[in-house]
Structure 1
Amino acid sequence: MRDTTSELLTRSPRAIDVARAAGVSAATVSRAFNEPDKVQPHVRQRVIAAAEALGWLPHGAGSALARRRSLIAGALIPTLANGIFAAHVAALQETFAREGISLIVSVSNHDPAQAMRDVQAMLTRGVEAIAVVGEDFGDAIFDLMTARKVPYVVTHGFSAESRHPTIGIDNFQTFQEITQYLLRLGHRTIGMIAPTQKNNSRVTARVAGVRTALAEMGLAIRPQHFCEGPWSIQFGRESLRAILAADGPRPTAIICGNDQIAFGVLTEAHMQGIAVPEELSIIGFDDDPISAHTTPPLSTVNIDRTLMGQLSAQYLLAQLQGGTPALPPPMTATLIPRGSTGAVHP
Structure 2
Amino acid sequence: MSDKSEQLKIRQPRPRGNAVTARDVARAAGVSLATVSRVLNGNPKVAPALREQVRRTAGLLGYTPHAAARALATQRSMAIGAIVPTLEDANFAIGIAALQRKVTSAGYTLLLASSNYDREEELRQVRALCSQGIAGLMLVGARHEQEVYDILSAKDIPFVNTWVIDTDRPCVGFDNREIGRVLAEYLLDLGHTEFGIIAQRTGESDRAAGRIAGIHQALKSRGAALPQEKLIERSHKIIDGQLALRELMSTAKRPTAVLCGTDMLAFGALIEARRLGLSVPEELSVAGINDTELAAHFSPALTTIRLSAEEIGERAAEFLLARANGEPGLRTTVVPFELIVRESTAPAPGAKPRPVKRGRRRT
* TM bracket (short chain): 0.7 to 0.9
Q: Note the residue ranges of structure 1 that are not aligned, 5 or more in a row.
A: 1-33, 36-58
For the pair shown, the structure with the greater C-alpha radius of gyration is 2
Please state how far the C-alpha of 1:61 moved relative to its aligned partner.
2.6
What amino acid is the match of 1:263?
Answer: F
1:125 and 1:149 map into 2 onto residues whose CA distance is 14
Aligned counterpart, 2:355 = none
Please state how far the C-alpha of 1:302 moved relative to its aligned partner.
0.9
Change (3 A) 1:63 1:240: closer
**Quick check: 1:297 aligned with 2:304?**
no
| Native 8 Å contact 1:91 1:309 kept in 2 | yes
Question: Could you say what secondary structure the match of 1:174 adopts?
Answer: helix
1:143 and 1:342 map into 2 onto residues whose CA distance is 49
1:235 and 1:307 map into 2 onto residues whose CA distance is 28
Aligned counterpart, 2:277 = 273
**Quick check: 1:132 aligned with 2:139?**
yes
Aligned counterpart, 1:67 = 74
**Quick check: 1:118 aligned with 2:122?**
no
1:236 and 1:314 map into 2 onto residues whose CA distance is 36
| Native 8 Å contact 1:137 1:199 kept in 2 | no
Aligned counterpart, 2:325 = 321
Aligned counterpart, 1:204 = 209
Aligned counterpart, 2:60 = none
Instruction: Map Cα deviations across residues 308-337 of structure 1 (whole Å, 9 max, x no partner).
Output: 111111011111111112235411111100
| Structure 1 residues 180-195: aligned runs within 5 Å | 180-195=185-200
What amino acid is the match of 1:149?
Answer: D
What amino acid is the match of 2:306?
Answer: N
Instruction: Map Cα deviations across residues 147-204 of structure 1 (whole Å, 9 max, x no partner).
Output: 1100000011123x3x211111100111111001101111111110001111311111
| Cα RMSD for the two superposed structures | 1.6
Instruction: Map Cα deviations across residues 5-55 of structure 1 (whole Å, 9 max, x no partner).
Output: xxxxxxxxxxxxxxxxxxxxxxxxxxxxx99xxxxxxxxxxxxxxxxxxxx
Aligned counterpart, 2:314 = 310
1:242 and 1:66 map into 2 onto residues whose CA distance is 59
Please state how far the C-alpha of 1:211 moved relative to its aligned partner.
0.8
What amino acid is the match of 2:269?
Answer: V
Aligned counterpart, 1:221 = 226
2:344 to 305, 329, 340: 340
1:82 to 75, 86, 89: 89
1:105 and 1:253 map into 2 onto residues whose CA distance is 38
2:149 and 2:169 map into 1 onto residues whose CA distance is 8
Question: Could you say what secondary structure the match of 1:262 adopts?
Answer: helix
Instruction: Map Cα deviations across residues 96-140 of structure 1 (whole Å, 9 max, x no partner).
Output: 011100000010011111111101111111011000011222221
Instruction: Map Cα deviations across residues 286-320 of structure 1 (whole Å, 9 max, x no partner).
Output: 11111111111011111111111111110111111
2:332 and 2:230 map into 1 onto residues whose CA distance is 37
2:124 and 2:216 map into 1 onto residues whose CA distance is 35
Aligned counterpart, 1:20 = none
1:331 to 313, 331, 335: 335
| Native 8 Å contact 1:130 1:151 kept in 2 | yes
1:176 to 176, 181, 197: 181
Aligned residues: 287
What amino acid is the match of 2:330?
Answer: A
Please state how far the C-alpha of 1:224 moved relative to its aligned partner.
2.3
| Structure 1 residues 35-114: aligned runs within 5 Å | 61-114=68-121
Aligned counterpart, 1:166 = 171
1:325 and 1:63 map into 2 onto residues whose CA distance is 25
Which runs of structure 1 show a deviation greater than 4 angstroms over 4 or more consecutive aligned residues?
none
| Native 8 Å contact 1:60 1:124 kept in 2 | no
Instruction: Map Cα deviations across residues 257-287 of structure 1 (whole Å, 9 max, x no partner).
Output: 1011111110111111111111100001111
1:254 and 1:327 map into 2 onto residues whose CA distance is 35
Please state how far the C-alpha of 1:141 moved relative to its aligned partner.
0.3
**Quick check: 1:257 aligned with 2:261?**
yes
Please state how far the C-alpha of 1:213 moved relative to its aligned partner.
0.8
1:308 and 1:328 map into 2 onto residues whose CA distance is 12
2:144 and 2:178 map into 1 onto residues whose CA distance is 23
Q: Note the residue ranges of structure 2 that are not aligned, 5 or more in a row.
A: 1-17, 20-65, 351-363
| Native 8 Å contact 1:145 1:151 kept in 2 | yes
1:235 and 1:246 map into 2 onto residues whose CA distance is 17
How many percent of aligned residue pairs carry the same amino acid?
34
1:238 to 230, 238, 243: 243
Normalising by structure 1, we get a TM-score of 0.80
Please state how far the C-alpha of 1:88 moved relative to its aligned partner.
0.6
Normalising by structure 2, we get a TM-score of 0.76
1:87 and 1:215 map into 2 onto residues whose CA distance is 35
1:327 and 1:124 map into 2 onto residues whose CA distance is 25
Please state how far the C-alpha of 1:251 moved relative to its aligned partner.
0.8
2:333 and 2:115 map into 1 onto residues whose CA distance is 27
1:329 and 1:156 map into 2 onto residues whose CA distance is 10
